[in-house]
Structure 1
């Protein structure tokens, strides 16, 4: 599980229990891993998400000042693919709670496990180099389908709860090839179109983003969702950046469970 940090200052919240930092992230972003338990009620999930966002004092502060402009983009939350497949209902409930008190997190999601399953079904080997998925044309075509499908699942889960959400599957991240010879269609983000995200928030919709990027001439490129979330936070400068990974569940800042 990955816990929240203060993006602007590159610090971790007072409740963090760090084990190791993750590399290859934008300057100022540090991630820390921790264990979590998946068997939680909907209410507990909401409480745990809030504690991931910060200390009790910080959470209370956000809720007191929820009508301020700053709190309307108070956090970028990266959601791992397995969280969508295993904990979709509780994730949607927690995000709905935040929007109902005026806090609009910006969600960037991955879909790694789902993509691997689709590749296996198509008898395409998932290949990695330096921990980066080698993305050839076939893999990218399937990845685009998978990302769109998972994005739609999360948006629909939110809308079933009465939360307006906007699917954003492109137009935000501009990238160039990271190393075309080595990784093929994998991107390195160098620009973020913040207007696409901010217009969603102004319309009262929760922005739900995939991490796919594109070149200026329109070539779609695969980008790791952790990196995409970090780049988005670097540009938007939210109060928090939160990473929910594939380990299931959320960590409670008080009980430690």
Structure 2
């Protein structure tokens, strides 16, 4: 446990470091299928061109993109301008024949707007020489909602199926596919669809690697206003029944993410486009900036395995160089890997600690407690300590001791008390380095 010391760096240094750190994600995302939904509110903001530039970059990096656009505010404006009344039931628009004309006009205008933005290619712009083909068509087959609870939804529909093979042929060719909240039935009728349902249905049908929902002011917070960065589908479901999450549109967007993550999509992301570059930050940095609904934990605390040796060595190296930790060779670490616990975040080891038991003395040594500098202002060190305390109790140990030169205060905060070298088991006393002069702390379990 050490304190991260910041040093001034230039903007160029920051850019180089960020680009280097993003390379694992560039490799990981290449060839993957992402379904990205852009809400209708985002389509009205001046931030839309920058977002299109970021999507174009994903396409250039080899991501197979399927876009879904919303149209709710645009439809509402056209319906109102036509002197018609917008009627909703359970957040779903009841679409009569007159309203359907406004729906098709709004959706058509948005399709053309997006085609124009993807056609940009001005010199000195991010999309220069991009030559992206945005393909739209009858990829979504619809069916009517029908009559529910006495309400005839008329031309409001649901997704019947997604034309998976047709979409795959397009993305295999490097094209970006655009799906609209409008679908045709096998009888040729048009139906107004929920964009979130189109997005989640497409992600599930395509076995997409990610569903990404982009909203204007889309943020999922806890009761104290802190961003919830990771949720399981079960946790998301519990949030949805709370009154504060029962308002449009967050409930629809979180429901879509939960539905996708529960049906085979590994990760669903909810992002607020009010933050410039939110899409890039979410996909190319380890912590991201939005809320992720995932079937499996993005961050895990577990026992170490032999294939973790490289990650642990990389984590320990800076602390060994500055003298905080005693150096360990790869061979030694490989032999002792079963002693270690670690925290892994998206494939990177961000924390580790080891327990060396002395069964005859009913005591264990806590060693190699290290947390990556970017994650020290958290409770990950405490999580590792609690994990190894449980492991120590399982081995019938009654005490833990630690030797430290720089982190005495942290260990005292966790219940360790100062002790002398004579408190160590005899075997460990014989190995004590008097030149290093480490302080001894002991904790009863």
TM-score w.r.t. length of structure 1: 0.69
Gaps in structure 1 of 5+ consecutive residues: 1-56
Q: CA RMSD in A?
A: 2.3
Of 80, 88, 101, which residue of structure 1 is paired with 2:39?
80
Instruction: Tell me the number of residue pairs that the alignment of Structure 1 and Structure 2 aligns.
Output: 196
> Partners of 1:123 and 1:90 in 2: how far apart?
34
Which position in structure 2 is the counterpart of 1:47?
none
Alignment pair present for 1:209 and 2:209? no
Alignment pair present for 1:189 and 2:159? yes
Of 95, 102, 105, which residue of structure 1 is paired with 2:62?
102
The Cα offsets for residues 57-90 of structure 1, whole Å up to 9 and x where unpaired, read as 9x7544114554xx2x2x1111101111202211
Alignment pair present for 1:121 and 2:121? no
> Partners of 2:197 and 2:38 in 1: how far apart?
12
Contact 1:99-1:163 within 8 A present in 2 as well: no
Matches for 1:1-257 after TM superposition, within 5 Å: 60-65=23-28, 67-68=30-31, 71=32, 73=33, 75-86=34-45, 87-160=47-120, 161=127, 162-168=130-136, 170-180=137-147, 182-247=152-217, 248-250=273-275, 251=278, 254=287
Contact 1:171-1:196 within 8 A present in 2 as well: no
When residues 121 and 211 of structure 1 are mapped into structure 2, their CA distance, relative to the original with a 3 A threshold, is same
Which position in structure 2 is the counterpart of 1:54?
none
TM-score w.r.t. length of structure 2: 0.41
1:188 deviates by 1.9
The Cα offsets for residues 82-105 of structure 1, whole Å up to 9 and x where unpaired, read as 111202211111101111111122
Contact 1:126-1:133 within 8 A present in 2 as well: yes
Gaps in structure 2 of 5+ consecutive residues: 1-20, 121-126, 218-272, 291-445
1:227 deviates by 0.4
* Deviation larger for 59-68 or 117-126: 59-68
Of the two structures, which has the highest relative contact order with CA contacts closer than 8 Å and spacing of 6 or more?
1
> Partners of 1:193 and 1:100 in 2: how far apart?
24
When residues 255 and 121 of structure 1 are mapped into structure 2, their CA distance, relative to the original with a 3 A threshold, is same
When residues 236 and 60 of structure 1 are mapped into structure 2, their CA distance, relative to the original with a 3 A threshold, is farther
Contact 1:175-1:215 within 8 A present in 2 as well: yes
Contact 1:96-1:163 within 8 A present in 2 as well: no
> Partners of 1:256 and 1:187 in 2: how far apart?
34
1:175 deviates by 2.1
1:256 deviates by 5.0
